[in-house]
Chains A and B, each alone.
Chain A
Amino acid sequence: MSTKKEYAIKVDHVTKKFKIYYDKANTLKEQLVFWKSKSKVEERTVLDNINLEIKKGETVALVGTNGSGKSTLLKLMTKIIYPTKGKIITVGKLTSLLELGAGFHDDFTGRENIYFNASIFGLTKSEIDDKVDDIIAFSELGEFIDNPVRTYSSGMYMRLAFSVAINVNAEILLIDEILAVGDQHFQDKCFEKLEKLKHSDKTIVIVSHSLDSIRKLCDRAIWIKDGHIKMDGEANLVIDKYLEECK
């Protein structure tokens, strides 16, 4: 009976192709004039027939060299972009930290941005009211929270963004290369928080190049190479193999 609910993310025969325009025809005239010169468009297959199942409660890392397609896979999971072929099913509320501070308004104060950012993640006012103190405490911004965000240093900005995203209580958390947030103290804190989330029943997918933290945090790693899954298994095992090839 529970077979249906076992997975949190299911990637089913997914292929993603991007159209590379060398000179994109944006206006009607250009489209009419250049409609025959198809040579300007090139299709690039970024992900080729990926099959993947991530179980509920797993902490999974995606590793691979630059341009291997791991970030694209993560974007597909968040439904920012859609697969060319195949489909992706996610079960439960999903939060993504692809880029910190997406949707922040520079003129709004930190507190207002917490409300705005959390509402993008689909929270209601009362839910945010309950969490706002936790978020502020976690960000350690103190009295700066009521200053406009444009006066923040980049570190403070990141801390606020990370605090919002990690406190929205999603069942699935997708993180892209942002473990290096803030100073050492804050990094440790983020790491601790992720460890804690890991031991609750949250599903976490991380794209990262800091392999040491992956070893500590993840039970499973998926190595993506040129749009294919090269290896999928226990984190240390996969990372060892990956490092071997990188040499």
Chain B
Amino acid sequence: MQLAKNLYNYRELLKSNVKKEIRGKYKGSFLGVLWSFVNPLLQVAVYAIVFPYIMRVQTDNYLIYLIIGIIPWTFFTTVINQGMITVRMNAGIIKKVYFPREILPISVALSGLVNFLISCIIILLFCIFGGVGLSWHLIFLPIIAIIQFILTLGIVFALSAINIYIKDTEYLIAFVINMLFYATPILYEATLFPEKIRWILYLNPMTQLIDAYRNIFLYHQVPDLNGFIYLVLVAVILFFLGLFIFRKLEKGFAEEV
């Protein structure tokens, strides 16, 4: 409740902060904002060359399969990486002015969401020209994107606050994210694993998310209901847990940062 009220009262600050996040990141570079789209594409290019030819992966439509994995993953990691340090980066104003501190992580997550939705155009283009086509299942896209937003925001709430007290968080999380990349079926298919242990892969909410994206973009299917329920549960729990940690720790920001 408090959260909604704060956000409403400070909506102008939120808006200008989101704008700053989107524009500020690539400030001074020649391509500017375009980098947030070029970057994942370059990454896709690397994997699309390496995996089919060197590792002999034989997935149908592997390029599109990859893109649908990489772009949501980029959304996830950029928000975590930028969000984790956002409180520390804004130490200057935190020490001098009062404003609802949660604006900072929320701005990062929102700018990530905006970037992601724009990036979806790339996925759509690949689907259209890659021969996969589109279907009505795309109406699920905003719902899945919002679930990912809530889930990531919850993690960022917690990490941005903890990082003020324990600076190691940043380095530890960078490692965890790297690991998680390989623990998520982005480059490979989940069916690579024997059915007995495959469920472990599906405990990872990112697996569920990317599965859902692939269902609606690539396989023209309704997302798996059980997976979907699991996702919503995890997202809501992480969100409130993260907010709780943030609320506990935010009172010391001005002194500790």
Contact = CB atoms under 8 A, between A and B. Distances in A.
Interface of A: 18-19, 26-29, 31, 75, 78-82, 94, 96, 98-99, 102-103, 115-116, 118-125, 128
B13 A80 contact: no
A80 B10 contact: no
B168 A27 contact: yes
Given A19-B255, A123-B12, 5 more contacts: A82-B252, A115-B12, A119-B13, A120-B97, A128-B12
B71 to A, nearest CB: 31
B96 A98 contact: yes
Contacts of B95: 80
A103 B20 CA distance: 13
B96 A103 contact: yes
A103 B255 contact: no
Nearest to B250: A82
A3 B99 CA distance: 29
10 contacts: A28-B166, A29-B168, A78-B97, A103-B92, A115-B12, A119-B10, A119-B16, A120-B93, A121-B99, A124-B12
B196 interface: no
B99 A81 contact: no
B134 interface: no
Contacts of B254: 75, 80-81
Interface string B1-38: 00000000111110110000000000000000000000
B96 A80 contact: yes
A120 B255 contact: no
Given A82-B251, A119-B10, A103 B167 contact: no
Pick the 10 closest A-B CB pairs, nearest first: A102-B96, A119-B12, A28-B168, A82-B251, A119-B13, A103-B93, A79-B98, A99-B96, A78-B98, A80-B254
Contacts of A124: 11-12
A26 B92 contact: no
Instruction: Name B's interface SS.
Output: helix
Contacts of A80: 94-98, 254
A177 B96 CA distance: 14
A125 to B, nearest CB: 5
A175 B241 CA distance: 37
Contacts of A123: 12
A115 B13 CA distance: 9
Interface string B155-173: 0000000000011100000
A96 B97 contact: yes
B16 A116 contact: yes
Nearest to A26: B167
Nearest to A25: B166
A103 B93 CA distance: 5
B168 to A, nearest CB: 4
Contacts of B11: 124
Given A18-B255, A28-B168, A119-B16, A102 B98 contact: no
Nearest to B252: A82
Interface string B245-257: 0000001101100
A99 B9 CA distance: 23
A56 to B, nearest CB: 20
A27 B168 CA distance: 6
Contact of A94 (B10, B15, B16, B98): B98
Given A82-B251, A120-B13, A27 B166 contact: yes
A80 B255 CA distance: 9
A183 to B, nearest CB: 24
Contacts of B99: 120-122
Contacts of A82: 251-252
B27 to A, nearest CB: 9
A103 B16 contact: no
A201 to B, nearest CB: 21
B45 to A, nearest CB: 34
Contacts of B166: 26-28, 31
A8 to B, nearest CB: 16
Interface string B167-194: 1100000000000000000000000000
Contacts of A79: 98
A81 B101 CA distance: 12
Contacts of A29: 168
Nearest to A82: B251
Contacts of B251: 81-82
A212 B181 CA distance: 65
A91 to B, nearest CB: 15
Most buried by B among A75, A115, A119: A119
A103 B10 contact: no
